[in-house]
Amino acid sequence: MKNKIIVTSVLLIMGCAQTPVQAPVPAQSGNSPVMQYWINRGKAEANQKAISEKVAAEKSDNRTPIERYRGDTAFALAMCKELFRRAILTSQKTDFETFSNRLSAEKEKSKESLKKALETVKPPKAKEALKTYHVAVMSALASIFAGLDERKIDYEQRQQALEGKVTEAWERFEIER
């Protein structure tokens, strides 16, 4: 037992029981037992965090397809705008590539989400309104890039106008639904 310290951590994730975590201590580590305790405790906390993240990722998504679609599109717009701002600030090629890849991925994800959402919508006018919302979102995503000679104030006004169109299209869908 001299070469090992048993660190017991309590995992209270979703009602899990106490789980002992053993962390071996090398015989010639050079660290005092107190220092080794804190090192092992950090490792146990990292393991606990990894388990917590895994459990959170496995939680089921209880949103309806329409709620999921709305959330996905709002997240896509916010994330792509933020990635574009970061790319502009850093002027790094990799940041622009990350932005472009994310933009393409979000467009594809949005199309899949739209198909599932359209399956749950019954009134034809509501389906048309949801498609109009999709067009507004795709337009907003496509116009995140700033023009080469576009002033900052003009860019911000254009983005606000597009956000207004997206909001208006969603409100129209809510009315028709």
Number of neighbouring beta carbons within 10 Å of residue 72 = 19
pLDDT beyond 50 at 4: no
User: Which of the residue ranges 5-19, 47-61, 73-87, 126-140 would you say has the lowest mean pLDDT?
Assistant: 5-19
Query: Helix or strand or coil: residue 13?
Result: coil
Question: What was the pLDDT predicted at 160?
Answer: 92
- For residue range 104-161, what is the model confidence (pLDDT) as tens digits? 888 888 888 899 999 999 999 999 999 999 999 999 988 888 878 889 899 889 999 9
Contact (Cβ atoms closer than 8 angstroms) between residue 55 and residue 14 = yes
Residue 65: which of 149, 137, 122, 125 has the closest Cα? Answer: 122
Distance (Å) of CA 37 to CA 7, 8, 11, 43, 175? 8, 11, 18, 10, 61
User: Which of the residue ranges 19-33, 40-54, 104-118, 159-173 would you say has the lowest mean pLDDT?
Assistant: 19-33
pTM value is 0.63
Positive or negative torsion for Cα 76, 81, 84, 90: negative
Query: In the 8-state DSSP scheme, what is residue 23?
Result: E
Domains detected in the chain: 4-58 (no CATH), 65-176 (1.20.1440)
Q: Which helix (H) or strand (E) holds 152?
A: helix 152-176
Amino acid at 120: T
